[in-house]
Amino acid sequence: MKVVALLFALSLAVAAHSQNTIHNYRYVLVPERFEFSKSDNQYGLNTFSKALLEGVGFTAFMSDETLPAEVAANKCGVLKAEVVEKKRFLSTGLTLILKDCLGNVVFKGEEGKSREKEWELAYSEALRNAFASLTAAQYKYDSTTATPVAAAPVVSSVPAAIPAAVPATVAESGNVLYAQANANGYQLIDTTPKKVMTLLKTSQPDSFIADDGTSKGIVFRRNGEWFFEYYKEDKLVSQKLSIKF
């Protein structure tokens, strides 16, 4: 039980530094119509947004496009673009927001403004200015994530602390979970989509500190398969997982 307590304390410490950034994503989905618009792609703002996203390095799709299989199979690997209008006197103000599949804001830019009197010119200029913050963020897709500070020295011996020889109650989850990268590991998402587990990296590439909101333990790969192991009422439980990274 000391091992479980140590894992719990460590997971809380590392999770405090966990951060989801735009650099963890390659794809962005742009809607056919923004909430403030009166028609699909009004003033060409939606296709213009797609072009601006591709201009900084993202691979962007319109929501009515047929998505590649890789993208369609992992919706939580895709950001959703929103553009919000703020009503102003004698000016037009737009703000770019990028959200993950759970609705969490991953990026929010500075408001872009325009004093043009003609609507089409005003919205186009305001949108271009709204993307200035994203350009300044120097986006670059990175599939790797940073190793947690101080996590490696403590957790390096965790697999040995829960040896395979310990009798375990084995359970199997038939649900496919999708791994969504963040600063210190992954969050596992089901097809709802709903977050079901947090994985924090350790010094071992195939071993993670795991927390499903009820139990805390480790997730590791053995013989090509993933397992979540934790203690329940002083008994080791081993749960087989189906994870797609």
Domains of the chain: 2-19+145-244 (no CATH), 26-136 (3.30.160)
- Would you say 224 and 238 are in contact if contact means Cβ atoms under 8 Å apart? no
pLDDT of residue 100: 92
pLDDT of residue 160: 42
pLDDT of residue 94: 96
Q: Say how many C-beta atoms besides its own lie within 10 A of residue 129's C-beta.
A: 19
Residue 215: burial class (beta carbons within 10 Å; 0-12, 13-18, 19+): middle
pLDDT of residue 170: 56
**What averages of pLDDT result for each successive group of 10 residues across the chain (245 residues)?**
47 48 94 94 93 93 88 88 90 95 94 92 93 93 53 40 49 75 85 85 87 90 88 86 88
pLDDT of residue 74: 84
pLDDT of residue 241: 92
Q: Residue 213 and residue 198: Cα distance in Å, rounded?
A: 8
